[in-house]
Amino acid sequence: MSEVLETSTEHQVRARVALTAALASGPSHAYLFRGPRGAGKSAVARAFAAEILAADAADPDDARRRALIDPSPHPDLVWLTPRGAQHMVEEVRERVIRAASYRPFEGEKRVFVVEAAEAMRDESQNALLKTLEEPPAFVHLILLTAEPAALLETIASRCQPVDFAPLPPAAIEASLEGGGTTDELAAAARLSAGDLARARFLLSDPGRELRASAPDLGNAWRRLLDSAEQVGGEAEAATREILEEEAEAGVKRSARDITDEAKRAGRRRRTETLDLGLELGAAWFRDLAATAAGADDVVFNRDRLADLRSRAAGLDPSQPRRAAELVQDTRRRLDLNVSEELALEALSFRLGAVFA
């Protein structure tokens, strides 16, 4: 196993064991890397692909070096990332399905990596099925997903699963070094649920705004909605800009396709931000209950201990515990597509009654 693959799997023991064995015995034709966002699936996939391409190369070190560059200039490594909320059907067909029938440009192998595989439409997944069932001997596919349940069973069953666990807080803190105060980094790491990308977002201005609204969620629910709307609008605008640039460069997309994709990306980001805001609120009430019970050592919001202690003075721990349950209940209700505004307004009244 190369040093790069060993380093990339430092916190993913199960993945390291599985991939080391695969390289020793000969890689399978298809893998499904599944685990939470920010767990390092992309870095491991790049390192694994580099080892596959280097194995039969005339110059293994050079093949490995080029495969590890992001974006990679290696002609036999194809890396597909969704530009909007979903992978474009034609892009999956052209860059993966049809391209997989072409022999390697150099060496003996070709590797195709599909990030956020759950973002493939059913049409794309069904089209990919034949490639998974009857792949050329030189083709290896690696699908990455944080939502394996969103993949068709026929796709998942034809891939060898490789499981990834959430990153431990210490590893996330180390990656965030320099992004804030020591206590702020510790808080972001613990609130991230093992997702490095989320931890970095929590240290951004929008992320700090979400955290600031958590202690007063009952009164600040409109502020939470506005923040989610703003982040969603920014995601929609950014996606639209990327798609329009690609259309100008020759990628076939109609104006309607661009608009639909951009709106989907915006809605998805808005929903994620709203859910994160509620999750942060539940975490705050959990910390408040812990502080009221004298258990400061388990607090996630390490940078706000003074505020927590002030609010917890004379508080019955059962109150914030009940508040956390109400917030989690609201998250579940929103999963059922109930009105966001009505659900948050109802939460506000219920939290008010808890702390009355």
Pairwise pLDDT comparison (160 vs 85), residue with the higher score: 160
pLDDT, one tens digit per residue, over 255-273 is 888 898 888 888 888 988 9
In the chain, pLDDT over 70 holds for what percent of residues? Answer: 98
**pLDDT (0 to 100) of residue 324:** 96
Which helix (DSSP H) or strand (DSSP E) does residue 139 occupy? strand 139-145
CB 347 within 8 A of CB 330: yes
Contacts of 273 (CB under 8 A, 6+ apart): 206, 210, 227, 228, 231, 232
pLDDT, one tens digit per residue, over 27-67 is 999 999 999 888 889 999 999 999 999 998 999 999 999 99
Confidence of residue 218 (pLDDT cuts 50, 70, 90): confident
- The vertex-76 CA angle with 71 and 82, nearest 5°, equals 45
**pLDDT (0 to 100) of residue 347:** 94
Residue 331 has pLDDT above 80, yes or no: yes
**pLDDT (0 to 100) of residue 1:** 52
Pick the CATH number of 3-163 from 3.30.70.20, 3.40.50.300, 3.40.50.1820, 3.20.20.140: 3.40.50.300
**pLDDT (0 to 100) of residue 156:** 94
Kindly report which listed range (73-87, 172-186, 290-304, 322-336) carries the lowest average pLDDT score: 73-87
CB 190 within 8 A of CB 300: yes
CB 170 within 8 A of CB 17: no
Q: What is the mean pLDDT of residues 92-113?
A: 93
Q: What is the mean pLDDT of residues 232-249?
A: 86
- What are the residue ranges spanned by the domains of the chain? 3-163, 168-203, 204-354
**pLDDT (0 to 100) of residue 112:** 97
Cα(284)–Cα(109) distance, integer angstroms: 50
**pLDDT (0 to 100) of residue 42:** 93
CB 326 within 8 A of CB 294: no
